[in-house]
Structure 1
Amino acid sequence: MIQHLPKLIERARNSPRWLLVLNLLLSRVIPFNRPHGFRIVAITEEMVRSAATYRQINRNHVRGIHACAIATVAEMSAGFLLLSRLDPQLYRLIMGRLEVDYHYQAKEGIVSESFLPNQRLENEIIGPLREQDAVTICMKSLVTDQSGNRIAEGRTTWQIKRWDRVRTKL
């Protein structure tokens, strides 16, 4: 499956049908996300947008979207962006830290956007990995609701390592 991911992502960038296929596959390989309805809604070369709907399973005791659902959507956009920019057969990603600043209560569907410009990819990941075994990168995700309110800002710190440098086995 992992060897087909780059091609599937490329197709999903340009086709709503292939984006649906990608989301169906993600719901199978990440079973935690399935009941929550977390999904990728847009992919470009430098951006990934993920979303969660306002549904009962995602709500907290005050009928807003739960903080953990907001954090997961932020983590999903950042992690999937890295996965889409790096060959998963060459690099292993591990999230080491997740921080979220909450600004506003979400009472409708939410969207998270993460960006990784080409220059940052080269300067902070690809270049350093030519000389180091592993690098860490902090990715920011902006979470907004359907009305455009700024709900939260997530920061995920990822360790990226070449698979041939990994000492533990799958």
Structure 2
Amino acid sequence: MKLLPQLICRARKSAFWLWVMNLVLAWIIPFNRPHGFRIAMISENRARSAASWRRVNRNHVRGIHACAIATVAEMSAGFLLLSRLDPGRYRLIMARLEVDYSYQAKDLIVSESELSDERLLQEVIEPLRSQEKVSIRMRSEVRDRSGNEIAIAHTTWQVKRWDRVRTRV
């Protein structure tokens, strides 16, 4: 668990380490590997994930499949939250996913999510001092290479301290 925070820190500053981090993520999350989902950018308060317009991601009308769009949106929000919390101390589980689709994607798509320091402190860190678990709703905007809005997704994440988790991993 100590490797990921160090990798994220390096990936914020270096394209090489971002590439290395994506290799590690492809190994850790085998579902994403054939789809080519990747983190395109990670900063302190923002994350972008991307998916290519490739055969495995397409639907019957040759657009990017709705589930691929939803997964890219989930990835930017979840990874941003994970990058802001110590994965050795906190467990994240996606509890809800809502997506409003507005345009058919026929090109590379990028999802962007944002989380301010104040919001993280008010909605996650402070409440976890007195509560066993909290939920935070994250917004992700998915756009294609031309800037068309493809979808807006909202993911609700349950955050819990590992010392409060009662099920085995």
* Shorter-chain TM-score tier: over 0.9
Aligned equivalents of 1:143, 1:27: Cα separation in 2? 21
Q: Give the C-alpha shift of residue 87 in structure 1.
A: 0.1
- What are the residue-to-residue correspondences of 1:42-81 with 2, within 5 Å? 42-81=41-80
Amino acid at match of 2:110: V
Gaps of 5+ in 2: none
Amino acid at match of 1:85: R
Aligned equivalents of 1:47, 1:129: Cα separation in 2? 22
1:108 aligns with 2:107: yes
Q: Give the C-alpha shift of residue 4 in structure 1.
A: 1.1
Amino acid at match of 2:44: E
Corresponding residue of 2:96 = 97
Name the SS of the counterpart of 1:158 in structure 2: strand
Name the SS of the counterpart of 2:2 in structure 1: helix
Could you tell me the TM-score, scaled by structure 1's length? 0.98
Name the SS of the counterpart of 2:104 in structure 1: coil
Q: Give the C-alpha shift of residue 169 in structure 1.
A: 1.4
Corresponding residue of 2:83 = 84
Q: Deviations over 1:113-157 (max 9, x none)?
A: 000000000000001011111000110100000000000011111
Aligned equivalents of 1:122, 1:148: Cα separation in 2? 32
Aligned equivalents of 1:72, 1:144: Cα separation in 2? 14
Corresponding residue of 1:32 = 31
Corresponding residue of 1:130 = 129
Amino acid at match of 1:62: V
Aligned equivalents of 2:59, 2:80: Cα separation in 1? 28
Aligned equivalents of 2:168, 2:81: Cα separation in 1? 22
Amino acid at match of 2:3: H
Amino acid at match of 1:127: E
Q: Deviations over 1:24-65 (max 9, x none)?
A: 000001011000000001000000000000111101000100
Corresponding residue of 1:146 = 145
Corresponding residue of 2:163 = 164
Aligned equivalents of 1:32, 1:91: Cα separation in 2? 22
Could you tell me the TM-score, scaled by structure 2's length? 0.99
Corresponding residue of 1:15 = 14
Q: Give the C-alpha shift of residue 167 in structure 1.
A: 0.8
Name the SS of the counterpart of 1:82 in structure 2: helix
Q: Give the C-alpha shift of residue 100 in structure 1.
A: 0.4
- Deviant stretches of 4+, over 2 Å: none
Gaps of 5+ in 1: none
